[in-house]
Structure 1
Amino acid sequence: MRIVTWNLWWRFGPWEERSKAVLTVLRELRPDVVGLQEVWGNGDDNFAARAAAELGLHWTWAPFEGGTGRWRQRADETGYGVGVAVLSRWPVAARAVAPLPPGVNDDGRVALHALLDAPERPVAFFTTHLEPVPSLSAVRCEQVRALGAFVAAHRDATDFPPVVTGDHNAWPDSDEMRMLGGYKAPPSAPGLTLIDAWEFAEPGARPYTWDAQNPFATPRGDPSARIDYVHVGQPGPGGLGRVLSVARAGTAPVGGVWPSDHAAVVADLAEHADRPSPGRPRL
């Protein structure tokens, strides 16, 4: 089962060319499930819907519940909202949305749950986008507690481990990320352990999803960091859902343009218990 998470940088920069580049990368990756952040939508004009149609996937999205005027001013846009979305090879059997505690700009950030009707068993999938201001670790900790409670409330529908994706705007050794994992600090919800898929990366693999090598990231002047994640619950019976491989994607120009200011994270999970997954090669 191939999982992708990617922050799409909303409608900033040359977004029309970037949108084509994003679709090219996703088409080449052939994902089963995608968690997207900074997705734009305005009525029927929704990038998640467009991507799903192009890639032959199902989709659902959840807009931020407030504060989008700030985004529109930054991009000189009107009418478009921003939110998170899930694309899936399988139908979305159920969905839920949870508000996150507000940050400095009170954007109305949310977490989105999609219960995916995969052939052998349902998959509980989540995506979100946490507070971006570097100094607001305390806010992100509160958001992670809300996210953990949300995951815990929806994880029991299947023996496949929950999959949590997102742009968490936090370094791996931060309080909020250790809390989300629940194995290097007290967990965000009782009994909830979420394994950072990057723990299984090839030794020496460049980890940064916010990378100074990306010209869209360079002007900010922030150091390169890994701030985008795929987390997976502890494997189910027979190693179900265990991480097989993980890597970055979207790390170079496509047709002369970088797809986003973030790199994507791609993780392959064991879709079946004690059975090798046919088809795509390992990352």
Structure 2
Amino acid sequence: MTLSLLTLNTWKADGDYPERLRRLRDGLRQLRPDVIALQECFLSEDGQADTARELAQALGHHLSVVRARGKRRLCRGHEVMSHSCLAVLSRWPIEQSWGLTLPTTPDDGGRMAQVVRLQAGELALTLANVHLTHVNDPTLRLRQLQAVLQHLHNLGPSGLTVLAGDCNEEAQGPALGAFADQWQDAVAAWGRGREPTYWDAQGQGHALDHVFVLPHLSQCAPRVIGAGVALPALPNGAPQPTSDHSAVWVRWASDN
């Protein structure tokens, strides 16, 4: 069997939100990932905007959402009370879901992580969907990762355990690099190198979005048969076709 997973920061309701949402729907329909980990999914409390639900309905996927970061934000020219959510969309039913409160600071409060378990065909999948702090504080990012990994450890192994999302850091950075011996970078395992997924204000590209497999919490070892970047973002200052982050996708094959 094969399993495809995609992760994407959807950029709340920024930019031309209706057009971006349309492009996201079309792009995800073409890519047809089995499981999707989304960050910064915009959800207005009046129910008029719900990125995760619209995308799940467009794909015919099951949906699990964790609400985070309540705040008044602009959407379609109007200020509304909203949440920046984490969401997992899946071709298969999501059997269990947890929302984890992460260590935060006054400069960046309300950080959450999401963990789900589901039966992906013949493969039991545990997925941690993360959006780590953007604050330049590697110690805080390290503590957030430790909280997620501790939760995964407490759950115990499954067929495949994956951590994916917007980590706001390169794989070799001080926080992610501290766990390099605990996971496999699935994109790097495909042997094509890492393309940037985000451009800073100086026009420098960075690979901030990742898919990591945790071998010590995985009972089987599916082979990576494809990986890369999709729905590409543009350098800052340009109109973004889908998001200010590119999506990262991985496809595995299992002989089990």
The answer to whether structure 1 residue 224 and structure 2 residue 205 are counterparts is yes
Of 8, 11, 22, 2:10 maps to 8
CA deviation string 1:200-241 (max 9, x = no partner): 2444x5610113xxxxx6xx226211000001122856x533
Question: Displacement, 1:8?
Answer: 0.7
- Unaligned 5+ residue runs, structure 2? none
Of 163, 176, 184, 1:195 maps to 184
% identity of equivalent residues = 27
Match of 1:89 in 2: 91
Distance 1:151 1:242, change over 3 A: farther
The answer to whether structure 1 residue 270 and structure 2 residue 253 are counterparts is yes
Question: Displacement, 1:84?
Answer: 0.7
- Determine the C-alpha separation between the residues in 2 that align with 1:167 and 1:126: 11
Distance 1:271 1:56, change over 3 A: farther
Aligned residues: 246
Kindly indicate whether the alpha-carbon contact (under 8 Å) linking 1:128 and 1:166 is maintained by their aligned counterparts in 2: yes
Distance 1:195 1:77, change over 3 A: farther
- Determine the C-alpha separation between the residues in 1 that align with 2:147 and 2:227: 27
Question: Displacement, 1:50?
Answer: 1.1
Kindly indicate whether the alpha-carbon contact (under 8 Å) linking 1:148 and 1:180 is maintained by their aligned counterparts in 2: no
Question: Displacement, 1:107?
Answer: 2.7
Match of 1:251 in 2: 232
Distance 1:206 1:95, change over 3 A: closer
Question: Displacement, 1:150?
Answer: 1.7
Q: In structure 1, the residue corresponding to 2:205 is in which secondary structure?
A: coil
- Determine the C-alpha separation between the residues in 2 that align with 1:90 and 1:176: 32
Match of 2:133 in 1: 131
Of 76, 79, 93, 1:77 maps to 79
Q: Aligned AA for 1:53?
A: Q
Give TM-score, length-normalised by structure 2.
0.87
Give TM-score, length-normalised by structure 1.
0.79
Question: Displacement, 1:249?
Answer: 0.2
Match of 2:150 in 1: 149
